[in-house]
């Protein structure tokens, strides 16, 4: 309470991105309540985009502020609420990714979501804002309790978004499965946190790190229980094999824009929380108990490898595009986990966060673009199966070419962001001598060609059952074009992007940003 009572107007300005999203959420709830029922709810969608863009502008300002001056003279960290909330470049860069992805998803859904399918379309638009707010809290929290609050804010709003097609039986089933699995995952994470609190006597991540670093032993069994409970919970949240069974059903039953949100923003937020906790704690364990550290890193590596293998091989048999992209997301979650498994194994590999963020950015654009194309094609054909893409090149050449670029990026082919994202992560495994997981990344990437080229073959070499051109709403066309341009830009100019990420945040020059040192 003392920390809350000492909040100043400067502190409130530091929280401007979160406050902007909160105010826009309240405004849109009231607007949706008082608007006549026959009014087009796309207005709420446009205002939701305005809120996301305004919050992103505030984050960009905070990046300049953090790098220019701060309340902590030794670093660029803005510490609020007694260290429970930390505004640093680690969180700011992730916030930009979440806000940008959410804005693209909402924009791509305008004009494609039918009122008869989503009778509460206004709610679908403005509920994205508190969901993104939860993701932002997860990426900037310096305390386990604050992180869990952000996790639940994201989870609860996501449950509602999955069930937004309330007259659709598949949507209701997907929401039920998502609530059950999400609740179980949250319980595992919270239970693991409780053990960690019992061992260290603190919920602040900095205090936990310092306690673990000075610990002399005697708590090894409890540490294993705490960390493996949290690993299991995060594995369910991230749909890492073998905890991925729910993903295909939930992705298929949810509206396609919501599916894109789950695959990008919700997954990225879980990674932000995972990195924030584990980089701090595993680094501390490396100084006191190397065996526990090695076992935890091995467990994460096995999860990453299993996700890549199961996700890629499972996608080979899928005919439904949503289920296929869900399993592709399982494989990509394994790839995004690899940088964490190699963090701090050698001093030469301090760029693990740059590798993670670069591939996350590439994944945002190629995934959002692919789901937007699927939304347009599904709206036209009434089907989300592989056959709905048959003859797409003859119906809409530019959409087919755009989808080809996005699929090539998912497959990791050159001159795309996905290629360099995987390449940087592969180089990271070579630097830390984790050749086995690098080999799995290479093999599964090659196998994935069969998955993505199967879609390309349908677009160019198969005749479709639907005649006539493909109607593409203007908003969806803009999103597809932006995603293709960004995917190609990341593939043609990867070095400037990596340099910008490294200059904004690096472990050596901004180590207090990551470790949240309170002095």
In tens, the pLDDT along 384-410 reads 888 889 889 988 999 999 999 999 999
Is residue 63 a part of any domain in this protein?
yes
pLDDT of residue 436 exceeding 80, the answer is yes
Range of the domain at 462: 14-515
User: Residue 449 — pLDDT band, cuts 50, 70, 90?
Assistant: very high
Q: Give CA–CA dist 368/380, Å, rounded.
A: 19
Whose tokens are 């602040």? That residue is 204
How much is the average pLDDT of 327-351?
83
Query: Among 131-140, 183-192, 214-223, 355-364, which stretch is predicted with the lowest mean pLDDT?
Result: 214-223
Total number of domains constituting the chain: 1
Kindly report which listed range (80-84, 235-239, 390-394) carries the lowest average pLDDT score.
Answer: 80-84
Buried b (16+ CB within 10 A) or exposed e, 251-261: bbbbbbbbbbb
pLDDT tens by residue, 25-76: 999 999 988 888 777 778 888 999 999 999 999 999 888 766 654 444 344 6
pLDDT band at 13; cut points 50, 70, 90: confident
What does pTM read for this prediction?
0.92
Residue 6 lies in a domain: no
Q: Is the pLDDT of residue 519 over 90?
A: no
Q: Which residue has the tokens 């929401």?
A: 175
% of the chain beyond a pLDDT of 90: 58
What per-residue confidence (pLDDT) applies to 329? Answer: 95
Would residue 4 count as lying in a domain? no
For tokens 């599904």, name the residue. 378
Residues 130 and 29 sit within 8 Å (Cβ to Cβ): no
**pLDDT for 115 beyond 60:** no
Q: What percent of the chain has pLDDT over 70?
A: 88
Is 285 part of a structural domain of the chain? yes
Q: What is the pLDDT of residue 117?
A: 59
**pLDDT digits over 201-213, tens only?**
999 988 898 888 8
Query: Would 2 be classed as within a structural domain?
Result: no
Average of per-residue pLDDT across 91-106: 95
Rg (CA), the chain: 22
163 phi and psi angles, rounded to 5 deg: -95, 15
pLDDT digits over 412-426, tens only? Answer: 999 999 999 999 999
pLDDT at position 69: 47
At 6, is the pLDDT very low, low, confident or very high (cuts 50, 70, 90)?
Answer: low
CA atoms 80, 85, 91, 95: torsion sign: negative
Is 77 a domain residue? yes
Considering only CA atoms, which of 333, 327, 335, 325 is closest in space to residue 310?
Answer: 327
Answer yes or no: is 3 within a domain: no
3-class SS at 135? helix
Task: Evaluate if residue 512 carries a pLDDT over 60.
Answer: no
Comparing 469 with 160, which gets the higher pLDDT? 160
Q: Which of 283, 309, 308, 307 is nearest to 296 (CA)?
A: 283
In a domain, 456, yes or no: yes
């Amino acid at each position: 309470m003392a920390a809350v009572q000492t909040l100043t107007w400067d502190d409130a300005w530091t929280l401007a991105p979160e406050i902007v999203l909160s105010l826009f959420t309240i405004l849109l709830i009231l607007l949706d309540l008082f608007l006549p029922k026959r009014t087009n709810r796309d207005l709420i969608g446009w205002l939701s985009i305005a809120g996301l863009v305004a919050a992103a502008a505030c984050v960009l300002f905070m990046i300049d502020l953090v790098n220019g001056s701060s309340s902590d003279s030794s670093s660029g960290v803005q510490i609020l609420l007694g260290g429970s909330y930390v505004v640093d470049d680690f969180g700011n860069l992730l916030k930009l990714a979440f806000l940008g992805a959410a804005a693209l998803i909402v924009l791509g859904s305008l004009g494609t979501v039918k009122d008869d399918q989503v009778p509460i379309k206004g709610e679908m638009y403005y509920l994205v804002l508190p969901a993104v707010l939860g993701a932002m809290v997860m990426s900037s929290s310096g305390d386990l309790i604050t992180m869990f609050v952000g996790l639940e804010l994201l989870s609860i709003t996501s449950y509602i978004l999955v069930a937004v097609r309330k007259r659709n039986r598949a949507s209701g089933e997907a929401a039920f499965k998502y609530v059950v699995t999400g609740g179980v995952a949250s319980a595992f994470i919270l239970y693991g946190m409780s053990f960690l609190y019992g061992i260290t006597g603190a919920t602040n991540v900095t205090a936990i790190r310092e306690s673990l670093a000075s610990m002399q032993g005697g708590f090894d069994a409890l540490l294993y229980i705490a960390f493996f409970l949290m690993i299991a919970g995060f594995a369910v949240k991230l749909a890492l094999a073998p905890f991925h069974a729910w993903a295909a059903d939930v992705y298929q039953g949810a509206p396609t824009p919501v599916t894109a949100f789950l695959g990008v923003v919700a997954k990225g937020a879980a990674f932000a929380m995972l990195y924030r906790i584990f980089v701090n704690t595993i680094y501390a364990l490396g100084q006191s108990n190397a065996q526990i550290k090695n076992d935890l890193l091995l467990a994460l590596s096995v999860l990453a490898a299993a996700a890549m293998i199961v996700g890629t091989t499972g996608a080979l048999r899928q005919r439904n595009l949503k289920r296929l992209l869900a399993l592709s997301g399982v494989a990509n979650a394994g790839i995004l986990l690899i940088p964490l498994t190699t963090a701090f194994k050698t001093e030469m590999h301090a760029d693990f966060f740059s590798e993670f963020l670069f591939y996350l950015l590439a994944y945002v654009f190629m995934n959002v673009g692919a789901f937007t194309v699927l939304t347009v094609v599904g709206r036209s054909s009434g089907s989300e199966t592989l056959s709905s893409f048959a003859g797409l090149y003859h119906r809409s050449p530019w959409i087919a070419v755009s989808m080809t670029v996005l699929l090539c990026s998912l497959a990791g082919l050159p001159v795309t962001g996905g290629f360099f994202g995987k390449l940087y992560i592969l180089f990271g495994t070579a630097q830390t001598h984790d050749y086995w997981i690098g080999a799995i990344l290479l093999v599964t990437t090659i196998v994935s060609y069969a998955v993505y080229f199967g879609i390309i073959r349908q677009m160019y070499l198969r005749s479709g059952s639907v005649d006539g051109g493909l109607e593409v709403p203007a908003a969806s066309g803009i999103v597809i074009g932006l995603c293709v341009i960004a995917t190609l830009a990341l593939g043609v100019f990867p070095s400037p992007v990596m340099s910008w990420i490294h200059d904004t945040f690096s472990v050596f020059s901004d180590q207090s940003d990551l470790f949240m040192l309170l002095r």
